[in-house]
Chains A and B, each alone.
Chain A
Amino acid sequence: SAVISQKPSRDICQRGTSLTIQCQVDSQVTMMFWYRQQPGQSLTLIATANQGSEATYESGFVIDKFPISRPNLTFSTLTVSNMSPEDSSIYLCSVYRAETYEQYFGPGTRLTVT
């Protein structure tokens, strides 16, 4: 398995501001991802965080709104920019190990935009 931590665990932000979420995993992993889970909904993949290069975004998500960094094999950040109330969600970091096929999730960051 993998131990994943996220900071902050929750935040309440004003519209128009930005929030950066940090994800730290306890060992090197093949891939890191960011997901969004809106209230009462399933999980949607935002992007794959690539080490040393630009993240790969899914349809409907763009770098200007969700810039992502991955400076090394165990750490990544997601920024939610120019927030609006529609961005209120749980944001989850996830890691994948190619050797086991398994994928694990962090505890999530609960964001409320007012």
Chain B
Amino acid sequence: GESVGLHLPTLSVQEGDNSIINCAYSNSASDYFIWYKQESGKGPQFIIDIRSNMDKRQGQRVTVLLNKTVKHLSLQIAATQPGDSAVYFCAERSRPDKLIFGTGTRLQVFP
């Protein structure tokens, strides 16, 4: 099938380690941010979101951090597993009808 993320930056981690994926967003007026996971041959899957009135939000094994001062977003994955291998995209929204995606990062997990 068709691959996604052939030319994207890659983060390689060992199974069990923590992963940190970073993203710089462009619009200081953006008030909502989402992280998506995209496995090969599939559509993006919603992971976690955060609104601009928060600095941190935690989910199951994932944490999103938002630094509005420097327009930076990060996704932390605890105890990374082989099933976490995918391309990860951040996305920002400044109005309901437009979600803007970042360039993406490929996460490779080694045993």
Q: What residues make up the interface of A, taking CB atoms closer than 8 Å to B?
A: 1, 4, 30-31, 33, 37, 39-45, 48, 56, 58, 90, 92, 94, 96, 98, 101-108, 110
Q: A42-B104, A104-B46 are in contact. List 20 more A-B contacts (CB 8 A).
A: A39-B3, A39-B4, A40-B3, A40-B5, A42-B101, A43-B101, A45-B100, A56-B97, A92-B43, A92-B44, A94-B99, A101-B32, A101-B49, A102-B34, A103-B99, A105-B43, A105-B44, A106-B43, A110-B1, A110-B41
Q: With both chains docked as a complex, state the minimum distance between the C-beta of A39 and any C-beta of chain B, in angstroms.
A: 7
Contact residues in B for A48 (Cβ distance below 8 Å): 97
A92 CA to B89 CA, complexed, in Å: 15
Interface residue B108 (Cβ < 8 Å from any Cβ of A): no
Main secondary structure of the interface of A (DSSP, over half): strand
Q: B6 near A: Cβ within 8 Å?
A: yes
Q: A1-B46, A107-B43 known; A45 and B2 CB under 8 Å?
A: no
* Shortest Cβ gap from A2 to chain B (Å): 10
Contact with A along B84-96 (1 / 0, CB 8 A): 0000010101001
A56 to chain B: closest residue by CB: B97
Q: Which residue of B lies closest to A45 (CB)?
A: B98
Give the distance in Å from the alpha carbon of A30 to the alpha carbon of B95 in the complex. 13
Min distance, Cβ B35 to any Cβ of chain A, angstroms: 12
For A31, give its contact among B5, B6, B97, B101 (CB under 8 Å).
B97
Q: How far is the CA of A55 from the CA of B4 in the complex (A)?
A: 27
| Nearest 6 A/B pairs, CB to CB | A40-B6, A105-B43, A40-B7, A43-B101, A105-B44, A42-B101
Q: Which of A92, A103, A110 interacts with B46 by CB under 8 Å?
A: A103
Q: How far is the CB of B89 from chain A (nearest CB, A)?
A: 6
10 A-B contact pairs sorted by A residue (CB < 8 Å): A33-B99, A39-B2, A42-B101, A43-B101, A45-B100, A56-B97, A96-B96, A102-B46, A105-B43, A107-B43
Q: Is the CB of A31 within 8 A of B46?
A: no
